[in-house]
């Protein structure tokens, strides 16, 4: 399957852990800080997604969104993602989510010092974007997921330099919650040293790459048929 048939770049809307650049770039490139190589940098813009609501995932550090009329979700609109980047994102999100194309409204922050999630106003611009919708509503709590709390209390479990992986694997720094008398990983394998993170850290096998391309091309064709 020729990879040239795929889009050269993708745009995405992130509303959870991937709003943190440290997590985003670890998933995209296995580095835990903003790249110094300009070719690897992504453009990140604040945005809102209408008619969806964000909830905490039960027993987890991360959220999920589901369609709910009248609600909006604040997040980040990221451009310039390559097919390789999106393959990594699909693997990172896993079977709990499905990737869908949505339309987001762009925002402009009023004070740059407040960062990407500071006070902002809508610009009137709308953009199509890929996002990850949670599949099992029963796995969501009623309360909202708090990004500031995540950064303050949980982010350390999701990022780390490559030499830190071994320390965590050896029983290091995970915060483990008890759930139904079992130890439960609140990162769902996506944190430092987790199974999904380790797979991302390793080179993606050619077999997985070919499978992903075939599925992505099929998804694109189905979307084009719906539009036509």
Question: How many angstroms separate the CA atoms of 154 and 142, rounded?
Answer: 20
- φ, ψ (nearest 5 deg) of residue 125: -90, 140
Domains of the chain, first to last: 7-159+180-227 (3.10.490.10)
pLDDT above 60 for 43:
yes
Question: How many angstroms separate the CA atoms of 129 and 10, rounded?
Answer: 8
Percent of the chain with pLDDT over 70: 82
What's the confidence (pLDDT) of residue 155?
93
pLDDT above 50 for 98:
yes
Q: How confident is the model at residue 139 (pLDDT cuts 50, 70, 90)?
A: very high
Mean pLDDT for the stretch of residues 158-178? 44
The length of the chain in residues reads: 228
Q: How confident is the model at residue 183 (pLDDT cuts 50, 70, 90)?
A: low
b/e map of 102-111 (b: 16 or more CB within 10 Å)?
A: bebbbbebee
pLDDT above 50 for 217:
yes
What's the confidence (pLDDT) of residue 33?
79
CA distances (Å), 30 to each of 135, 136, 173, in order? 27, 29, 19
- Pick the residue with more confidence: 102 or 84? 102
What's the confidence (pLDDT) of residue 193?
72
What's the confidence (pLDDT) of residue 116?
74
Question: How many angstroms separate the CA atoms of 104 and 93, rounded?
Answer: 20
Q: Under a CB-based contact definition with an 8 Å cutoff, are residues 113 and 126 in contact?
A: no
Question: pLDDT (tens digit, 9 = 90+) per residue, 47-78?
Answer: 999 999 999 999 999 999 999 999 999 999 99
Q: Under a CB-based contact definition with an 8 Å cutoff, are residues 63 and 141 in contact?
A: no
Average pLDDT, the chain: 83
Q: How confident is the model at residue 46 (pLDDT cuts 50, 70, 90)?
A: very high
CA distances (Å), 45 to each of 26, 52, 166, 204, 219, in order? 19, 19, 34, 29, 26
Q: How confident is the model at residue 163 (pLDDT cuts 50, 70, 90)?
A: very low
Number of H helices, E strands in the chain: 6, 7
């Amino acid at each position: 399957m020729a990879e040239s048939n795929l889009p050269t770049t993708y745009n995405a809307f992130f509303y959870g852990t991937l709003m943190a650049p440290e997590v985003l770039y670890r998933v995209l490139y296995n580095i835990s800080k903003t790249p110094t190589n300009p070719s690897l940098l992504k453009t990140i813009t604040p945005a809102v997604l209408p008619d969806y609501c964000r909830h905490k995932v039960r027993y987890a550090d991360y959220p999920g969104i589901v369609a709910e009329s009248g609600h909006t979700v604040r997040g980040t609109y990221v451009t310039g993602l390559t097919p390789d980047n999106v393959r990594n994102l699909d693997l990172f999100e896993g079977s709990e989510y499905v990737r869908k194309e949505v339309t987001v409204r762009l925002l402009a922050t009023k004070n740059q010092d407040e960062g990407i999630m500071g006070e902002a106003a809508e610009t009137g611009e709308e953009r199509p974007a890929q996002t990850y919708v949670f599949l099992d509503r029963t796995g969501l709590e009623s309360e909202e997921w708090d990004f500031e709390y995540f950064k303050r209390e949980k982010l350390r479990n999701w990022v780390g330099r490559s030499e830190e992986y071994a320390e965590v694997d050896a029983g290091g720094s995970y915060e483990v919650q008890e759930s139904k008398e079992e130890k439960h990983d609140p990162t769902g394998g996506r944190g430092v040293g987790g199974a999904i993170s380790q797979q991302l850290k390793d080179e993606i096998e050619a077999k997985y790459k070919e499978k992903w391309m075939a599925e992505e091309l099929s998804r694109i064709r189905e979307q084009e048929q719906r539009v036509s």
